[in-house]
């Protein structure tokens, strides 16, 4: 038995993120607002739970996923339950933050416990939670950052700590518009693979802030409970790409090197590039067989039709300027080709 439809008053603000329109009951100043007359895709209820949750029978909730990552107490970082035979999912993080979303990816509820804040909850919302929503709605997502160069999107692919955001920020300092950070959402439109704009912010670890801006304190903290700093792309000298752009190149960030020749870029064979794309898909746990088949189809077409490059950065931050120059020179060749 499914719960009854929940009705309540939402805020008038509608935001854009990853090609979706989000209607929220509390302001999310990180996101770009759009016209309140716009149609919306997802309702987000912040600091709220669906009324039917209190009466949920235990039999209608089953554990679905337990993360391998553990906190200092040995507890899982994340647990996910299926509710009402999978019609809803419940995410419970180890800090007490919880999300419930429907299988259609059209409704999200979020709650958190002190000392966590709305900004902290937004970190989860705009990361793994929306990552799942995007997958449920048919997007293919990559663990990557994307920048606009010559009206084309280039993506920097790699695991946590590979330097995706740092590379995007270094190019942003040179005046190139950023499309997305951490999650790159790919949407197929008329057989074109378009990268969707996320929101005008880059999150950077303190070491990256020091490398780019001299001192950690030169960028504001995201929250008191979060180590990263953030770069607001609405500030003077920076720009955010608000329209989708076609994907024209993918740079796979490898291990940093002390070699004086670094940074260097090499072409990746299609089969190696496909393995890199598959290995850096974002949030695969929500996939069923049809979604997985679609993902492989899209990633296969990226590997076959988009230049794939292996990028080896230098281990020293002083080489960031050279890294940008190498990327831009390579982009001129691959995009023009």
Model confidence pLDDT, tens digit, residues 41-79: 999 999 999 988 887 777 688 999 999 899 888 999 999
- Whole-angstrom CA distances from 272 to 117, 275, 288 are 42, 5, 25
Q: Which residue has the higher pLDDT, 250 or 158?
A: 250
Q: Are 251 and 153 in contact (CB under 8 A)?
A: no
Q: What are phi and psi of 207, to 5 degrees?
A: -65, -35
* Residue 238: pLDDT over 70: yes
What DSSP character marks residue 238? -
User: Quick one: average pLDDT of 299-324?
Assistant: 94
Q: For residue 310, how many other CB atoms are within 10 A of its CB?
A: 17
In sequence order, the β-bridge partners of residue 220 are none
4 has pLDDT over 50: no
Domains and CATH numbers, the chain: 14-135 (no CATH), 140-336 (3.40.50)
pLDDT tens-digit profile of 206-221? 999 999 999 999 999 9
- What lies within 8 Å, CB to CB, of 130 at 6+ separation is 17, 18, 20, 183
Which DSSP string corresponds to 297-335? HHHHHHHHHS-EEEEE-BSSGGGHHHHHHHHHHHHHHHH
**pLDDT single digits (tens) 63-121:** 999 998 998 889 999 999 999 888 999 999 999 999 999 999 999 999 999 999 999 99
CB atoms within 10 A of CB 272: 14
The pLDDT of residue 183 is above 90: yes
CA-to-CA distance for 88 and 105, rounded, in angstroms? 9
Model confidence band, residue 1 (pLDDT cutoffs 50, 70, 90): very low
**313 CB burial (10 A radius; 0-12, 13-18, 19+):** buried
* % of the chain exceeding 90 in pLDDT: 75
Find out whether 182 and 127 touch, Cβ atoms under 8 Å. Answer: yes
Q: Report the C-alpha gap between 82 and 269 in whole angstroms.
A: 40
> What is the per-residue pLDDT across 122-167, written as a single tens digit (0 to 9) for each?
999 999 999 999 999 999 999 999 999 989 999 999 888 899 999 9
Task: Give 252-311 pLDDT, tens digit per residue.
Answer: 999 999 998 999 999 999 999 999 999 999 877 766 788 888 899 999 999 999 999 999
pLDDT, position 82 = 92
Is the pLDDT at 10 greater than 70, yes or no? Answer: no
Give the model's pLDDT for residue 319.
93
H/E element holding 96?
A: none
Enter the tokens of residue 8.
Answer: 């309540």
> Is there a contact between 80 and 64 (Cβ–Cβ < 8 Å)?
yes
CB atoms within 10 A of CB 33: 14
Pair 256, 315: CB distance under 8 Å: yes
pLDDT at 3 over 70: no
- Check: CB of residue 210 under 8 Å from CB of residue 169: no
pTM to 2 decimals?
0.91
The whole-angstrom separation of Cα 77 and Cα 67 is 6
Quick one: tokens of 334?
A: 């691959």
């Amino acid at each position: 038995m499914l719960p009854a439809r929940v009705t309540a008053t939402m805020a008038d603000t509608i935001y854009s993120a990853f090609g979706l329109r989000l209607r929220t009951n509390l302001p999310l100043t990180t996101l770009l607002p759009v016209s309140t007359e716009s149609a919306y895709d997802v309702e987000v209820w912040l600091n709220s739970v669906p009324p039917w949750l209190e009466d949920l029978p235990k039999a209608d909730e089953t554990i679905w996923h337990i993360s391998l990552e553990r906190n200092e107490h040995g507890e899982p970082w994340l647990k996910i339950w299926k509710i009402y035979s999978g019609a809803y999912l419940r995410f419970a993080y180890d800090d007490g933050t919880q999300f419930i979303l429907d299988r259609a990816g059209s409704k999200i509820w979020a709650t958190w416990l002190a000392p966590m804040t709305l900004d902290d909850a937004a970190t989860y919302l705009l990361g793994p939670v929306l990552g799942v929503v995007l997958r449920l709605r048919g997007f293919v997502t990559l663990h990557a950052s994307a920048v606009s160069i010559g009206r084309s999107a280039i993506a920097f692919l790699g695991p946590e700590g590979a330097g995706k955001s740092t590379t995007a920020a270094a190019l942003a300092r040179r005046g190139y518009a950023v499309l997305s950070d951490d999650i790159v959402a790919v949407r197929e439109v008329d057989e074109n693979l378009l990268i969707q704009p996320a929101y005008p912010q880059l999150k950077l670890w303190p070491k990256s802030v020091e490398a780019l801006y001299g001192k950690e304190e030169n960028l504001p903290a995201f929250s008191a409970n979060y180590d990263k700093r953030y770069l607001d792309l609405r500030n003077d000298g920076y720009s955010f790409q608000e329209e989708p752009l076609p994907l024209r190149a993918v740079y796979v960030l490898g291990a940093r090197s002390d070699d004086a020749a670094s940074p260097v870029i090499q072409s990746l064979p299609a089969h190696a590039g496909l393995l890199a794309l598959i290995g850096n898909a974002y949030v695969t746990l929500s996939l069923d067989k049809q979604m997985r088949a679609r993902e492989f189809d899209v990633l296969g077409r990226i590997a076959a039709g988009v230049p794939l490059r292996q990028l080896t950065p230098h281990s020293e931050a002083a080489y960031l300027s050279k890294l940008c120059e190498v990327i831009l020179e390579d982009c001129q060749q691959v995009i023009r080709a």
